[in-house]
Structures are given as structure tokens and as C-alpha cells.
Amino acid sequence: MAKVVTFGELMIRLQPYNYERFVQADHLEFTFGGGEANVAVSLANYGLDASFVTKLPAHAIGQCAVNSLRRYGVDTSKIVRGGDRVGIYFNEKGASQRPSVCIYDRAHSAIQEAQPADFDWEKIFDGVDWFHFTGITPALGPNVVEICREACKAAKARNIKISCDLNYRGKLWTRDQARAAMTDLCQYVDVCISNEEDAKDVFGIEAEATDITAGELNKEGYKSVAKQLADKFGFEKVAITLRESKSAFDNDWSAMLYDGTDYCFSKLYHLHIIDRIGGGDSFGGGLIYALLSGKDTQAAVEFAVAASALKHSIEGDYNFATIAEVEKLAGGDGSGRVQR
């Protein structure tokens, strides 16, 4: 069984019920999520040995966060305990032409104030095959950039495959800060995951003839984006998810995977969205599983996109679609008919 370690921040998600606005809500739904934690849950769900690494307070809310992963089979034994608070994000689900709104309350969280000495990467990476992080984590501060750098160096020294989802978050840092940090970290990365905007926001590399807000993507332009990324950093593979947003409810969803030779585009899914948070993370989890399972480039991107398409139908950050469900959708059955 392949062993995967993911590293990042696990947060409390507070959200009004149904599609209420913040100003209407008198009670909030309480769950947990976070980019790399979402990936770990996906991988554990697929039967891999998935460990999540972070720092969380030793108090009851910190333990609730840990338990939210343990219940789905994620190894939490490498989580460092300490600090004072768990980061929070407030999410207002969009509807029709009203977009979703995300407000962060994560300053001074345990992981944001963590130090490199908190993590023994030699021990954490013992027997590990794959390491995954996202651009959200180094955005927490220079100290966390250094933790990510030490993790990448330790993984590279052990010949562990490293994947990174660029995941640019403009509310956490500037484009210049992101470019400096991610240019440094990406020298260690083997598999880069981006969406239709990240490469532009972080590295200034963009697809021609594309209008994100109008939901118009030039898929041929993303071949150039993938090749430029691979040439710049020496990535073995570059995956780009392609979201064409028609409304908060309705998106077209596909992806491309470039392996240095071939540009493989997945089939296109017309999504009617229940919850889009974690959609990109479920793609990352599906891609890591597919590559560790030995799938070829086309099969890998089809599995990853199908996994993510199913996640958009599931409430919360985590993806609970099974391998069989993903394989069935990737194979062409997207009818949604009752299974008896």
C-alpha cells in the first residue's frame, strides 16, 4: 500500500444553512476542511495509507479537528499539538448569479505560528512514497514557507515524489510574495497542479484568448501554459483543471494532464453543484491515486476529473466518492440513475 503525506492547515468551516446569507443566519453549520487535509481524506477513502501533518491546539476544538480526519481513516499520529487556536473560515454558499463568499479568520492559528523545529521530517517521511502540499500553506507566513522548504528538501533527499497545487489565495498574500515563495518551492516539485487562473496569478503565465469571468476558456492555450511551467521548473507532469462557470450552480468541468510528451484532455462534465469547496482538492487526490496506481496519462486525468465531478455533489470539504463510483463515471456512466 502506497504511503502519502500531506501538509497544511486544517480549519473550522462555519456556514449558514441552505443558501442563507451571513446577515440572515442565526446559527451556523460546523465542519472541518483544508486543502491538504481534503486530499488526505480522498486518498484514505481510496485505500491508501494517508497521513496529514499540521499543528493543532491540544484543547477540545483541536481534538475535534483531529477526530474529523481519524473517522475517515487518515493517520493523524504525526500532527503536532500546541498553539492557541484553530483557524476558521466562514463560507456563504452562492446561488444562481450570486457568487459564494469566503471570509478567513485564521490569524495566529497554531500552524501559522509554527516553527521549523516543530516538525521532524526525517521521521515523518520514513517509508513514504509521495508528499503533497499546496500554495495555501506557504501563504500563511515566512516561517511556514521555511517549513515547506525543509519538508521539500527532506522529501527530495529520500526520492519521494512531490506534488503541489498552486492554489493562489489573494486574501493571504500578494502576487509578488506568491511568486517569490513558489518559485523557490517549485524547484523541488515533480507534479504541478493548477487551475485556469493560478499559473497567471503566481507566475504570470496565461492562456491566450481566455475570459475567466465569461466562462470562456481556450483549451489549446493551456497546452502552452503547461509546457511553459514544465520547462521553467522541470516538472514531470502538469495538470490544469478547467472550470467554465455559467453560474454558482452550473459549471462545465474538465482538465488537462501534460506528461512532457502528450497533452491529454479529459471529457467535459456539465455540473449542477451542491458544494464546490474541495473540488480542486478532490481532483488532486484523484490524480495522486491514479498515478500511484500506474494509470497512464489519459486514464489518470479521466479518473481525477471524474472524482472531482462527483465531489461537487457532496456537502462539505471532503470527497466520499468510492473508487468504483469514480471508475464508473470515468468510464462513461454519468446518468445518475438509482443503483439497485
**Catalytic residue annotation:** 281
Structure-block grid coordinates of residue 227: 509546457
Q: Which region, left, alpha or beta, applies to residue 306 given φ > 0 means left and ψ of -120 to 50 means alpha?
A: alpha
Q: How many alpha carbons fall within 13 Å on the CB side of residue 210?
A: 22
Of 199, 147, 138, the closest CA to residue 172 belongs to 138
C-alpha distances in angstroms, 192 versus 83, 103, 135? 31, 27, 11
- Residues 277 and 248: their CA atoms lie apart, in Å, by 12
- Residues 165 and 317: their CA atoms lie apart, in Å, by 16
Structure-block grid coordinates of residue 101: 463568499
Of 261, 231, 226, the closest CA to residue 241 belongs to 226
- Residues 287 and 310: their CA atoms lie apart, in Å, by 14
Q: How many alpha carbons fall within 13 Å on the CB side of residue 181?
A: 27
Q: Are 17 and 31 in contact (CB under 8 A)?
A: no
Give how far the C-alpha of residue 63 lies from the chain's centroid of Cα atoms, to the nearest Å: 23
- Contacts of residue 333, defined as CB under 8 A and 6 or more positions apart, other chains included, come to none
- Residues 139 and 13: their CA atoms lie apart, in Å, by 19
Structural Rg of the chain based on CA atoms: 19
Pairing, β 263-265 against β 250-258: antiparallel
- Contacts of residue 301, defined as CB under 8 A and 6 or more positions apart, other chains included, come to 239, 255, 256, 257, 264, 265, 266, 287, 290
What phi, psi does 202 have (nearest 5°)?
Answer: -90, -45
